[in-house]
Chain A
Amino acid sequence: MTQTELKAVADATGGFDIGAVRRDFPILNQEINGQPLAYLDNAASSQKPVQVIEAVNNYYRLDNANVHRGVHRLSQRATDAYEGARTKVRDFLGAASDKEIVFVRGATEAINLVAQSFVRPQIKPGDEILISHIEHHANIVPWQMVCEQTGAQLKVIPMTQSGELDLSGLDDLLNERTRILAIGHVSNALGTVNPVRDIITRAKAKSIPVLVDGAQAVPHMAVDVQDLDCDFYVFSGHKMFAPTGIGALYGKQALLEAMPPWQGGGDMILSVSFDHTEYNTLPYKFEAGTPHIAGAVGLGAAIDYMQSLGIDNLAAHEHHLLEIATSQLEAMEGVSIIGTAKNKASVLSFMIEDVHPHDIGTIFDQQGVAIRAGHHCAQPVMQFYGIAATARASFAFYNTEQEVDALVNAIKTTQEMFA
Chain B
Amino acid sequence: MSDLRDLYQQVILDHKKNPRNFREIEDCNHMAHGNNPLCGDALVVYVKLNDGVIEDVSFQGSGCAISVASASLMTEILKGKTMEEAETLYENVHKALTGEDDSAELSGKLEVLSGVKEFPARVKCATLSWHTIHAAMDSDHDISVTTE
Which residues of A line the B interface, CB within 8 A?
33, 355-359, 361-363, 366-367, 373-375, 382, 388-389, 417-418
Contact = CB atoms under 8 A, between A and B. Distances in A.
Report, nearest first, the 10 A-B pairs whose CB atoms are least far apart.
A388-B40, A356-B64, A358-B64, A358-B39, A389-B40, A359-B65, A366-B1, A359-B64, A366-B4, A417-B8
A357 B121 CA distance: 13
Nearest to A33: B1
B80 interface: no
B61 to A, nearest CB: 10
Interface string B4-16: 1100110010000
Nearest to B9: A417
A362 B4 contact: yes
A219 B11 CA distance: 41
B42 interface: yes
B40 A363 contact: no
A363 B38 contact: no
Interface residues of B, number: 20
B81 interface: no
Nearest to A382: B40
Contacts of B12: 359, 418
Interface in B90-112: none
A367 B1 contact: yes
Contacts of A375: 40
Contacts of B122: 358, 362
Interface in B105-148: 119, 121-122, 125
Given A367-B1, A374-B40, A388-B40, A362 B119 contact: yes
B62 interface: yes
A417 B5 contact: yes
Contacts of A355: 65
Interface in B38-88: 38-42, 62-66
8 contacts: A356-B63, A357-B39, A358-B39, A359-B65, A362-B4, A382-B40, A388-B42, A388-B63
A400 B93 CA distance: 42
A363 B121 CA distance: 12
Contacts of B63: 356, 358, 388
Contacts of B38: 374
A363 B4 contact: yes
A357 B65 CA distance: 10
Nearest to B66: A359
B65 A388 contact: no
Nearest to B2: A366
Contacts of A388: 39-42, 62-63
B121 A362 contact: yes
A389 B9 contact: no
Given A362-B119, A362-B121, A356 B39 contact: yes
Interface centre among A33, A359, A373 (most CB of B within 10 A): A359
Contacts of B5: 417
Contacts of B39: 356-358, 373-374, 388-389
A361 B39 CA distance: 10
Nearest to A355: B65
A33 B2 CA distance: 11
Given A356-B64, A356-B65, A374-B38, 20 more contacts: A33-B1, A355-B65, A356-B39, A357-B39, A357-B64, A358-B41, A358-B64, A358-B125, A361-B121, A362-B4, A363-B8, A373-B39, A374-B40, A388-B39, A388-B40, A388-B41, A388-B42, A389-B39, A417-B8, A418-B65
Contacts of B4: 362-363, 366
A418 B14 CA distance: 11
A366 B64 CA distance: 17
Nearest to A375: B40
Contacts of A367: 1
Contacts of A382: 40
A373 B66 CA distance: 15
Contacts of B64: 356-359
Nearest to B37: A375
Contacts of B66: 358-359
A358 B125 CA distance: 9
A374 B39 CA distance: 5
A292 B40 CA distance: 34
A336 B66 CA distance: 22
Contacts of B42: 388
B27 to A, nearest CB: 29
